[in-house]
Amino acid sequence: MRASAADRERTIDVLKAAYMEGRLSKEEFDGRSAQVMAALTYGELTAIVADLPAGPVGPPALYHPPPGYYPAPQQPTNGLAAGSLVCALTGLFMPVLLIPGVIMGHVSREQIRKGNQRGDGMAVAGLVIGYLGAAFWALLIVIAATHG
């Protein structure tokens, strides 16, 4: 990770503290200070003070976006898409819920297309599971009726 000016200042503070405590000579302090100013990465700064009690320098400074910057708003997830998936999965054990799962899947896909919403994957999964579950239960009923 690239080092920032704040990272270099914190590293210099560690060197100053070590110099004031007598852990570094004047020559060592000057040499390490020059290394700090030439360092490009956070790892290089950490290596400069790794043998000192106050080092390493700590986590890198957090990025703060410039004033007036606003991230793009997240598109909402369609609730019917989630409902479709839940109904379809539950319908594998309670077949009556497969029909609402499939209906909600189709309705939610239409709403997602028109309203620029998220959740198309959940709607498709609800449709696929709903149709496969309905086919499974229909096949089970046919087998039970012919062998009964």
* Distance of alpha carbon 104 from alpha carbon 82, whole angstroms: 9
**Which residue in this structure is represented by tokens 């229909």?**
138
- On whether both 90 and 35 belong to a single domain, the answer is no
Q: Is residue 102 part of a domain?
A: yes
Give the total number of structural domains in the chain.
2
Residue tagged 């839940």 (tokens):
86
pLDDT of residue 34: 93
Answer whether residue 54 is part of any domain. Answer: no
State the residue range of the domain holding 15.
5-49
Q: What is the CA radius of gyration of the chain?
A: 31
CB distance 41 to 1 below 8 Å = yes
Instruction: Check residue 54 and give its pLDDT.
Output: 60
d(CA 60, CA 57): 8
Say if residue 43 is in the same domain as residue 86: no
Name residue, tokens 């360092």.
39
Mean pLDDT, consecutive 10-residue stretches, the chain (148 aa), reads: 86 89 91 92 87 62 71 86 96 94 96 91 96 95 90
CA separation for the pair 148, 138 (Å, rounded)? 15
Read off the pTM: 0.52
Any domain includes 72: no
CB 20 within 8 A of CB 26: no
Inside any domain, residue 89: yes
120, 75 Cβ separation under 8 angstroms: no
- Based on the fold, state whether residues 102 and 140 are members of the same structural domain: yes
